[in-house]
């Protein structure tokens, strides 16, 4: 009887061990998988992926061009100081990829590994520094990264997690899409 119990305990421990093992390979050990998980729960697609119209007009990420940023030829919204009196801080487009506000107009970056228009030529170091410091391309003297990019939340990720996000972003298909430069506040007329 005692032997049976010991065999039973060893068996259960083994199964529990295998269970943990399975989970950890999914999100802990494989940086690309962990990065995909972090990009999903971190909401990167909400702003960095063009959208298709879902049920009830809800925007859903367009799976054919995930994380490719604001579509290059799409007109951007405008924002006027009067908007603030109506309690409107920002206007966005139907894809949630262009954002007009007191900072001018910001466009979400192409995060795919395309060499000319995406993260292709970036280093892991520049990527991590950008998210940690809020400076464009992580350059100490670079311009501030504009709203609504919530880098001050992602800054809290561990080095390991930021590296995993980077590894995932390197693994997705490159998409050529030249996102426009930000428009400064004075040059943001309606509908251009
Ligand atoms: C609420 C919208 C929003 C979300 C969510 C978001 N971004 Fe952004 N992101 C932006 C905008 C807008 C810009 C462009 C800012 C600019 O031009 O200064 C940007 C720019 C960037 C840049 C370029 C920064 C630079 O150096 O100029 C990187 C890298 C980036 N985002 C990564 C991410 C990652 C990774 C996630 C998810 C973990 C994410 N973003 C989630 C809106 C968002």
With tokens 């010991």, the residue in question is 6
Verify whether ligand 1 is closer than 6 Å to residue 148 (CB atom): yes
Verify whether ligand 1 is closer than 6 Å to residue 146 (CB atom): yes
Q: How far apart are CA 23 and CA 172, in angstroms?
A: 22
With tokens 């083994």, the residue in question is 14
Q: How far apart are CA 124 and CA 174, in angstroms?
A: 17
Compute the distance from residue 151 Cα to the ligand 1 centre, in Å: 7
The pLDDT assigned to 192 comes to 47
> Average pLDDT for residues 14-19, to the nearest whole number?
48
The pLDDT assigned to 1 comes to 53
What's the pLDDT tens digit per position in 71-89?
A: 999 999 999 999 999 999 9
Compute the distance from residue 131 Cα to the ligand 1 centre, in Å: 8
> Average pLDDT for residues 134-150, to the nearest whole number?
97
With tokens 């009067």, the residue in question is 82
Count of beta carbons in the 10 Å neighbourhood of residue 104: 16
């Amino acid at each position: 009887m005692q032997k049976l119990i010991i065999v039973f305990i060893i068996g259960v421990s083994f199964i529990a061990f295998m269970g943990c093992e399975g989970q950890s390979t999914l999100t802990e050990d494989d940086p690309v998988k962990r990065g995909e998980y972090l990009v999903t729960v971190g909401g990167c697609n909400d702003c960095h992926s063009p959208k298709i119209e879902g049920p009830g007009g809800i925007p859903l990420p367009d799976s054919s061009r995930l994380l490719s940023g604001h579509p290059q030829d799409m007109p951007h919204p405008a924002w006027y100081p009067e908007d603030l009196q109506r309690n409107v801080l920002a206007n966005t487009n139907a894809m949630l990829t262009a954002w007009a506000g007191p900072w001018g107009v910001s466009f979400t970056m192409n995060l795919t590994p395309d060499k000319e228009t995406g993260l292709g030529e970036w280093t892991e170091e520049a990527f991590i520094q950008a998210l940690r410091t809020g400076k464009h391309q992580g350059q100490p003297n670079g311009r501030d990264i504009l709203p609504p990019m919530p880098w001050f939340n992602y800054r809290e990720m561990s080095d390991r997690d930021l590296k995993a996000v980077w590894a995932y972003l390197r693994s997705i298909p490159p998409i050529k899409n030249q996102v426009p430069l930000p428009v400064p506040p004075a040059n943001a007329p309606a509908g251009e």
